[in-house]
Amino acid sequence: MSSFIRKRVRGLLKNTFSNASNTHNNDENHRGRNNHHSNGQQQNDIKASDFAEDNVIYERILTGRHGKKVEIPETYAGKTGLDLPVIHLAPLKKHIRSCFTGPDGGLTRVGQMRQQPIVRMANLDDELSLSSYEDDGDDDDAEGDGRTARLNMSGDGGMNPSHSMEALGFHPTDLAPCCSTDTFDWTTCNPLRSYGASTSLYEKHPVTGMNAGTPIADVFGIISRENNAIIALADGVNWGEGARLAARCAIRGALDHLNAAVESNSFETTTDVFHCMLGAFHAGHSLILQEGGALTTLCVAFVAPIKNSDNYALCVANVGDSLCFVYNHASGVREVTLASHDIAQMRDMRDAGGALGPVDGRNPQLHNLTCSMTFVQEGDIVFITSDGVSDNLDPVVGKFCVIKKDESEKENCDIIEEIAPKTSKAQ
Same domain, 31 and 81: no
pLDDT, position 306: 97
The CA distance from 363 to 120, in Å, is 9
Q: Which range of residues forms the domain containing residue 9?
A: 2-63
Burial label for 279, CB within 10 Å (0-12, 13-18, 19+), is buried
Looking at residue 305, what is its pLDDT? 97
- Model pLDDT, residue 234: 96
Report the distance separating Cα 99 and Cα 298, nearest Å. Answer: 19
- The answer to whether the beta carbons of residues 318 and 78 sit under 8 Å apart is no
**Does residue 95 lie within any of the structural domains?**
yes
Same domain for 167 and 136 = yes
CATH number assigned to the domain comprising residue 307: 3.60.40
Give residue 217's identity as a one-letter amino acid code: A
Is 99 found in the same domain as 24? Answer: no
Q: What is the rounded CA–CA span in Å between residue 341 and residue 368?
A: 7
β-strands 323-328, 332-335 pairing: antiparallel
End-to-end CA distance of the chain: 45
Same domain, 90 and 47: no
Task: Establish if 406 belongs to a structural domain.
Answer: no
Give strand pairing partners of 96. Answer: 225
Total domain count, the chain: 2
Same-domain pairing of 147 and 266: yes
419 domain-assigned: no
* Residue 169, number of CB atoms within 10 A of its CB: 9
- Give residues with Cβ within 8 angstroms of 281, minimum separation 6: 124, 254, 298, 300, 317, 319, 356, 369
**3-state SS assignment for residue 103:** coil
Q: Are residues 396 and 336 in the same domain?
A: yes
320: left (phi over 0), alpha (psi -120 to 50) or beta: left
Residue 407 inside a domain? The answer is no
Omega within 30 of 0 (cis) for the link into 103: yes
415 within domain boundaries: no
In this predicted structure, what is the pLDDT of residue 202?
80
* pLDDT tens track, the chain, 427 positions: 455 555 555 555 555 444 444 444 445 454 444 444 445 555 555 444 455 555 555 555 555 555 566 688 999 999 989 999 999 999 999 999 999 999 988 899 888 776 554 444 444 445 545 555 444 444 444 444 433 333 333 333 333 333 333 333 444 444 444 457 888 888 777 888 889 988 888 888 888 888 887 888 899 999 999 999 999 999 999 888 999 999 999 999 999 999 999 999 989 999 999 999 999 999 999 999 999 999 999 999 999 999 999 999 999 999 998 999 999 988 889 999 998 887 666 666 666 779 999 998 899 999 889 999 999 999 999 999 998 888 777 666 666 666 656 655 555 555 545 555 555 444 4
* Amino acid at site 287: L
Would you say residue 69 lies in a domain?
A: no
The model scores a pTM over 0.75: no
- Distance (Å, whole) CA 238 – CA 120: 27
Within a domain: 321? yes
DSSP state of 114: -
Residues 58 and 90 in one domain: no
Asked whether residue 70 is assigned to any structural domain, the reply reads no
91 in the same domain as 26: no
Shared domain check, 220 and 294: yes
Do 37 and 84 lie in one domain? The reply is no
Residues 281, 322 within the same domain: yes
Whether residues 51 and 185 fall in one domain: no
Domain termination residue (choose one: 37, 63, 89)? 63
Task: Give Rg (Cα) of the chain.
Answer: 27
| pLDDT value for 53 | 53
